[in-house]
A and B are shown apart, each in its own frame.
Chain A
Amino acid sequence: MNSAETLSRNTILDAVRANQPAAPPMPTVPHFHTNQPADLVTTFCESVARMAGVVVTDDVPDLDSFLRAKFPDAKVICSAIPEYAGTMKPANLNHWSEASTIDVCVLRSPMGAAETGSILLSDVELQVNTLALLAHDLVVLLDPKQIVANIHDAYEHPHFKLRPYSLLMTAPSGSGDIGGIVVHPAQGAKTLTILLSPTPNASERTG
């Protein structure tokens, strides 16, 4: 850091210190669980539907035939999960902008939030962050046991303190109007389909 940068930083910090109003003690943030829904999965599905996303609650025994039936025109299917090959893997991309060539991208999210219908995706699950933005259709697997009640619970996930990039994604890309679905958005995923599917390792352990 050069001296000019230090100087302007100190000027700002000194001015803030001189003018800082007396602060009250930091309040304890409650988790607002008084209205906790009885069934988190049902609430999660309703919240996703409200933002124009889709949740598949039925068991999907064969992911490949499910994807072929749902996206018959898809040529490039990128799989970021170990249990499915797809037509390519994120590691095959040379540049992050090449994610725009992907028709369908399959991911697994480590957490969902019932209140908002959000799923968590970080650089761990995405591997290439632009998958969540440039792939046309997203299919995200989520273990129903990993659904938390609300946004306060969601921000307790360690990703937010440890990972460089953590995205709370709620339904496909939208526009800035009420409901976000009146104007066709220019960027981001066109559809988001969430499959409720237990984590393979977890089921092996319990079974």
Chain B
Amino acid sequence: MQVALMVPCYIDMFYPHVGIATLELLERLGVDVVYPKEQTCCGQPMANSAGMTGANFVVAETGAIVVATNEGNADLSANTPPLHICSVGIEKIIPTTESLAVFIRLLARSAIGDTITQYTSTFRGPRKGAAMHVILVDNGRSARLGMKRFWHSLKCIRCAACMNTCPVYRRSGGLSYGSTYMGPIGIIMMPTFEIRKYSELPFSSTLNGSCTNVCPVKIDIHEQIYGWREVMEENDQIQVVKKEAMRVADEVLSHPALYQVATTTLSTALEVLPHFAVYNRLNAWGKYRDVPEAARETFHEWYRNHRPKTDEVPAA
């Protein structure tokens, strides 16, 4: 018997091992399984009795919620079942339909690099015989509004331009942030929800400022990241190991001679040290990663050998 396996989006993206187990079970039972690669949606939204969406904006003047999608998935969830529930943060409220035009322009250009998304919809109420509920979520937002240094992060329109430009995010991806909001904007948002859990997050940045440059609503992201580091320090939220490592780094990095000795010695040390001496509790970085192999010659050494006459820096 030939069986076509349908793996719905939820299993495909979040629990692929369930799909694998199903496939293996069927194969072990001697079933001839094919997996049609063209498959997409299982059609569940069409049978549901309630549909949930978020909203990109809420218009105060008309009470409309505005949703922008490429596929039309929010429109499908909101329009097909007799009940539409929309959950949205209070900072998404904008004054008028006139101002909505400005925000739609900003969002599409910064999010997908085009002038608009395929489905840009406005819901002012339910259709006849159906119901629509809007849940306005605070969850720390009103408290953030009172933080003089950090309230500007509430202007975020979730375009993700800061993530796409961030050199750290582009290498590490979203899951490494361990939070709902990822990338640069996540770094300045998540501590407002749970300061202890995300106390390390503000340190996952090079403070290069690329995020601030591209932000369409002009949030001073990298300055807020630095601000959150100070808050963590003031509130004693930094781990002892990290604090000690920073104290040593401060000492070494403020003395050039000491820095050169350290880098040269470390290169040699990494070659000869046994595994347990490099990978231990003190090396949080090496917990999940290998320390790269050190080069035989540091740039400092190479420069000294190849540019012997030009290494004098004129006195300031």
Contacts and interface: CB of A to CB of B under 8 A. Distances in A.
B100 interface: yes
A163 interface: yes
A18 interface: yes
Contacts of B121: 165-168
Contacts of A117: 115-116
Interface in B77-107: 79-80, 90, 95, 97-102, 104-105
Given A133-B75, A178-B113, A151 B145 contact: no
Interface in A128-160: 129-130, 132-134, 151-152, 154-156, 160
Interface stretch (B65-73, B175-183, B268-276): B65-73
Nearest to B120: A168
A164 B79 contact: no
B119 A173 contact: yes
B146 interface: yes
A185 B139 CA distance: 33
Nearest to B144: A19
A16 B116 contact: no
How large, as a class, is the contact surface on chain B? 35 or more
Given A116-B115, A180-B112, A132 B72 contact: yes
Nearest to A179: B114
B142 A12 contact: yes
A175 to B, nearest CB: 6
B116 A123 contact: no
Contact of B119 (A155, A156, A169, A177): A169
Nearest to A52: B118
B71 A168 contact: no
Contacts of B9: 186
A77 interface: no
Contacts of A174: 70-71, 118
Interface residues of A, number: 57
A187 B44 CA distance: 11
Contacts of A19: 142-143, 145-146, 151
B127 A129 contact: yes
B84 to A, nearest CB: 10
Interface in A89-134: 96-97, 100, 115-118, 123, 129-130, 132-134
Given A164-B127, A168-B121, A174-B118, A29 B80 contact: no
A126 to B, nearest CB: 9
Contacts of A88: none
B47 interface: yes
Contacts of A15: 138, 142-143, 145
B46 interface: yes
B281 interface: no
B280 interface: no
A161 interface: yes
A200 B82 CA distance: 35
Contacts of B98: 29, 152, 155-156
Nearest to B118: A174
Given A130-B76, A160-B97, A100 B117 contact: no
A25 B138 CA distance: 25
Interface of B: 9, 38, 40-41, 43, 45-47, 61-62, 64, 70-73, 75-76, 79-80, 90, 95, 97-102, 104-105, 112-127, 136, 138, 142-143, 145-146, 151
Interface of A: 11-12, 15-16, 18-21, 26, 29, 47, 50-51, 96-97, 100, 115-118, 123, 129-130, 132-134, 151-152, 154-156, 160-161, 163-180, 184-189
